[in-house]
Structure 1
């Protein structure tokens, strides 16, 4: 580990227990080791960090017994915060160590980082990989507070407790975040979407841009449920999950924006597409474009419109019964029997 990384790693190792208490706060000390579930700071005992140098090795080295992964305290910072670039890891380490921040560094530490579209895709995959399942997290709390309680089949949604957020012109921050995998028709991750959350999960984080996407999004979506002959596509994750509260078995495809909704790729088996529009001019334009594209492919396209601004607003303000009644009138009759939940 040459140069800058070696120096920071050594300094962090001198304060190994303080590093663990700060970045792996869900763990605890046992003897000469700090035990925690994994590098993402999940509660548990699989990962152990050596706190003191011994015949077995230097302080700061860690091993995850469940996965075989190992590394140093720079990796702990990277994993616990969801940082994707060495420069950001080094900045965070210097802040923790109260070291001065130097001018521009040589490019050597970045030489392994991919650039352009392929680099953004790889970064998105790494972020999703170091995030944790949705169940029992603040992301689940956030969704439930928006009336979304049926969360089956949401494996493409995860949670990161301290996701890196860099505001324009401001210092780096970390916030809890819901992480969504954006995938292509084959299921390969091509991007990720982050929704930063308030610490108690009551709402989105109080930042200028609480939602951001990364990677290659064109044509891809956040896929929830197994692709089938009948599916629904729309803009927002919360909007589409709201529809799924009354159509629990219908596969859905949140596209994350009106522009990307208009450009989604169609699964091969698709024969009927419900287009969930937001009640605004951008939503109207996306609906019209997607209807034309679907018809050209021989796919029946049926728009679904909310009473208010979108289906999550309908769900929260009008209630599930009103949302069910609104959607029922717009579905093909055979899909009412096939998909509509009558449960309260």
Structure 2
């Protein structure tokens, strides 16, 4: 049946085949009513296509989506509040299992700027059918660009020490969990100005901060969240501390394009091993410093790396 769209062109569709489907014998194109509406009306968003289809078919308007959205909003607010309470009742990491955990992973000086805290008995629930446990935990606050806490990341730790299998994390199924609003936000180390280094893991970014203690950094906590992290409007150069895997490659491509669209220079920082904490732990501080010297912009070598070398001396 021919359909006359708003643009005035015609879509000639054959009537053979399943009901509601169409096929163009001349071009081989096929689809359904929604495809016709999208193409002929020049619409891009599915919401707009569905609205036009509802009008075309004279269907009544319903709003069943409101209840789920309201529930998600309430859950999100409660999760943010719980995250803020947990961070507030936690204590500084100095002299705790959390400090020992990071130092055993090669991070001799922990330049976290107040973003990390420690809780000696943080609740951990394996699943809904098992009782709640308590373990010591490193608590990292997740913030938005204005510095508001939107969530926390918990790393449950082994109070009995460090082993090569768990690397100091508690002997539980999921020793890392986050709660609150993570999308677009991050754990931030230092106040961003015109330069920022961003990566996935806490240990990765704290390893870089050990070498570059004055460079602002952000840990997005996962590859997906790193690719979606909101970039500050004042940013001029973004260092992408990528992990050496397929997800790291994808994140680098996405963030590089997003930075370019915003007029921000993007530079990838690539580790020799899996990530920069591995490099630090295996090769040591001086090797990581030499590694970064070759990858930073020359002006940032003087601004951040040279300063850190003088401070260490």
Give the TM-score normalised by structure 2: 0.72
| TM-fit CA distance, 1:171 | 2.3
Among candidates 235, 242, 253, match of residue 277 of structure 1:
242
Larger Rg: 2
Mapped to 1, the partners of 2:266 and 2:109 lie a distance apart of 26
Q: Say yes or no: does 1:213 pair with 2:178.
A: yes
Among candidates 219, 222, 233, match of residue 257 of structure 1:
222
Among candidates 280, 283, 288, match of residue 323 of structure 1:
288
- Equivalent position of 1:247 in the other structure: 212
| TM-fit CA distance, 1:269 | 1.6
- Equivalent position of 2:254 in the other structure: 289
Q: Which deviates more from structure 2 when the two are superposed, residues 200-209 or residues 280-289?
A: 200-209
Among candidates 327, 336, 342, match of residue 301 of structure 2:
336
Q: 2:225 is paired with a residue of what secondary structure?
A: helix
Among candidates 91, 108, 117, match of residue 149 of structure 1:
108
1:139–1:201 Cα contact (<8 Å) kept: no
Mapped to 2, the partners of 1:201 and 1:181 lie a distance apart of 24
Mapped to 1, the partners of 2:292 and 2:111 lie a distance apart of 21
2:150–2:181 Cα contact (<8 Å) kept: yes
For the aligned residue pairs, the C-alpha RMSD in angstroms reads 1.3
- After superposition, residues 41-120 of structure 1 pair within 5 angstroms as 115-120=74-79
Give a deviation string over 1:26-76, Cα, whole Å, max 9, x none: xxxxxxxxxxxxxxxxxxxxxxxxxxxxxxxxxxxxxxxxxxxxxxxxxxx
2:112–2:190 Cα contact (<8 Å) kept: yes
The gaps in structure 2 that reach 5 residues or longer are 1-72, 163-167
Mapped to 2, the partners of 1:336 and 1:221 lie a distance apart of 25
2:111–2:210 Cα contact (<8 Å) kept: no
- Equivalent position of 1:124 in the other structure: 83
The gaps in structure 1 that reach 5 residues or longer are 1-113
Among candidates 163, 186, 203, match of residue 146 of structure 2:
186
Runs of 4+ in 1 over 6 A off after TM superposition: none
| TM-fit CA distance, 1:238 | 0.4
Give a deviation string over 1:193-234, Cα, whole Å, max 9, x none: 000000135301111111000001000000111111111000
Mapped to 2, the partners of 1:201 and 1:263 lie a distance apart of 35
Give the TM-score normalised by structure 1: 0.65
Q: 1:245 is paired with a residue of what secondary structure?
A: helix
Give a deviation string over 1:245-294, Cα, whole Å, max 9, x none: 11111011000000000011112221001000011111111111011101
Give a deviation string over 1:155-197, Cα, whole Å, max 9, x none: 0110000000001243211000000000000000001000000
Mapped to 1, the partners of 2:170 and 2:211 lie a distance apart of 28
Mapped to 2, the partners of 1:115 and 1:231 lie a distance apart of 33
Give aligned pairs, total: 231
- Equivalent position of 1:299 in the other structure: 264
Q: 1:140 is paired with a residue of what secondary structure?
A: helix
- Equivalent position of 2:159 in the other structure: 199
